[in-house]
Amino acid sequence: MKPFVFRLDAVLMLRESEKQVAFDAYGVAIRKRQKLEETCHQTSQYLHKLREIIAQQRQSVFPAALQPAFMNELQDGEENLQNQLKQLARAEQTEQEKLDAFLEAKTRVDVLEKLKQKRRSSHQYAQYKEEEKELDDLVNARYAPTF
């Protein structure tokens, strides 16, 4: 039986490496998004605590000199949170793009693997048929009646 040779093995290996690169890029995008989510969460918690402190201060005697400092800090924190949310939205979009690129690369690899499997099956079937024919010829040549 002749060994099976898939002529597109080099292309398959190249596509598998592209798939791995796309997978790694997708993983980096996920980590970046998660880090930004954590940063947004921390900033949100900080603003919540700052609002609680302001509410507690206002229940007692609240010096007027502290009012601008608290309000500036609150305003800066909210601007910072808005910027972080914009970055998070961009990171989510980038993550989706990386996922799409990975899925495209995976599809390209899957198509070649399916083609390889189909050609392997076809090759094996042809080889079995050829061997069967050779055996039939041997049997017929040995036991064929001679006139």
CATH number at residue 108: 1.10.287
- Residue 119: the pLDDT is 95
The verdict on residue 140 lying in a domain is no
- Report the pLDDT averaged over residues 92-101: 97
pLDDT tier at 104 (50, 70, 90 boundaries)? very high
pLDDT tier at 69 (50, 70, 90 boundaries)? confident
Q: Which domain holds residue 89?
A: 9-116
The verdict on residue 80 lying in a domain is yes
- Residue 147: the pLDDT is 61
Q: What percent of the chain has pLDDT over 70?
A: 97
- Residue 59: the pLDDT is 82
**pTM here?**
0.76
Q: How many C-beta atoms surround the C-beta of residue 83 within 10 A?
A: 12
| pLDDT, tens only, 13-29 | 999 999 999 999 999 99
Q: Are 33 and 63 in contact (CB under 8 A)?
A: no
Q: How far is CA 72 from the centre of its chain?
A: 41
The verdict on residue 18 lying in a domain is yes
The verdict on residue 79 lying in a domain is yes
The verdict on residue 137 lying in a domain is no
